[in-house]
Amino acid sequence: MTTAPEAAHFRFFELEVLRTRRLGHSFLRVTFGVTSPAGFRSGGFDQSLSLFLPPDGREHTVLPSTDEDTWFGAWRGMPDEERPVMRSYTVREQRRTPEGADEVDIDFVLHGDASPASRWAGRAATGRRILAIGPAVAENKSVRFQPPATADAIWMYADETALPAAAAILERLPSGTAVRAWFEVPHEDDRLALSTPARADITWIVRGAAIGPERTERVLSALRSAEPGAAEAPYVWLAGEAGTVRATRRHFVQERSVDRRSVRFTGYWRLGASEEQLLAEAYAGQSPSEEPTSEL
């Protein structure tokens, strides 16, 4: 792991919408061009970054400061109607075009106008610009998928919010890696075609109208009824709604006797809480039993 100062790991970048593509009922891919001169360096796998989406009625993101020491206070101090919405997302893919330009794909979950990010993505138009805090070095603390060399299998659970990260992980695994995965999505046509060189056995859990405890029990039932395969040292990666993630972690640690040190779990969101609440908790050092949604 690099020993560079932490502040050098992340920088502000300007992203410009180049195109969009619908992937399924709930998923929209937005392809951005990285227009800032400083180099964007995704570490792959489940690399996260923070997007600043303009408020309704604004085409582009404007911040009073992008200085590493003052941006957060300046952003928090903006009037509510002018403050861009900050949201954590996964870098689905980064690539260099033949012309030498950097492109970044980010997959959004669409659920109408129920959230600011879904509302913005559903109206994303070519040429619109946003700001992001993203990785300036490939080895950084926001790549959470870090299996040890001794792992002989990968076991995964993700809901739709974490599916882009799971898909990026699958694409980058070494050929022949044994993978058992459970992916939860709202609709039948959200079951995306995922490519991987790994030997992956994937179970799709279509949630439908299930919410709360019913939803969690449906996930646990799918886990309990499946045989993940023989493994002496599995590495477990879990991401999605915080309550369900905690329940799946207990399943693997208590019911399948997986060493808790080999379980990486992240609550991407929490039922009944806004991301603003989760962000405030993370910066206040609360919720010690789960990893924060963003470490930026």
| Better-predicted residue by pLDDT, 146 or 208 | 146
Mean pLDDT score, 249-276: 87
Q: Which tens digits make up the pLDDT trace of 60-75?
A: 999 999 998 999 999 9
How much is the mean pLDDT over the chain? Answer: 89
Domains observed in the chain: 6-135 (2.40.30.10), 153-283 (3.40.50.80)
Tokens of 210: 């299930």
Alpha carbons 55 and 60: distance in angstroms, whole number: 9
Helices (H), 71-211: 71-76, 116-122, 163-172
DSSP tag of 54: P
Q: Is 255 helix (H, G, I), strand (E, B) or coil?
A: helix
Mean pLDDT score, 267-295: 57
For strand 129-135 and strand 48-53, is the pairing parallel, antiparallel, or unpaired? Answer: antiparallel
Share of the chain above pLDDT 90, in %: 76
Alpha carbons 133 and 52: distance in angstroms, whole number: 8
Largest Cα–Cα distance of the chain, in whole Å? 55
Comparing 138-152, 168-182, 272-286, which segment has the lowest mean pLDDT?
Answer: 272-286
CB 84 within 8 A of CB 75: yes
Alpha carbons 200 and 77: distance in angstroms, whole number: 47
Q: Is 215 helix (H, G, I), strand (E, B) or coil?
A: helix
Mean pLDDT score, 210-221: 87
Contacts of 241 (CB under 8 A, 6+ apart): 159, 161, 215, 267, 268, 269, 270, 271
Alpha carbons 182 and 201: distance in angstroms, whole number: 9
For strand 153-158 and strand 178-185, is the pairing parallel, antiparallel, or unpaired? Answer: parallel
Tokens of 226: 């499946």
Please give the pLDDT value at position 283. Answer: 56
> What's the chain's Rg over C-alpha atoms?
19
Residue 15 half-sphere exposure, CB side, CA atoms within 13 Å?
Answer: 27
Angle at 252 between CA 251 and CA 258, to 5 degrees: 145
Q: Which tens digits make up the pLDDT trace of 107-158?
A: 999 988 888 999 999 999 999 999 999 999 999 989 999 999 999 999 999 9
| Better-predicted residue by pLDDT, 100 or 46 | 46
Please give the pLDDT value at position 6. Answer: 53
Task: Return the residue matching tokens 């020993």.
Answer: 3
Tokens of 247: 């329940």
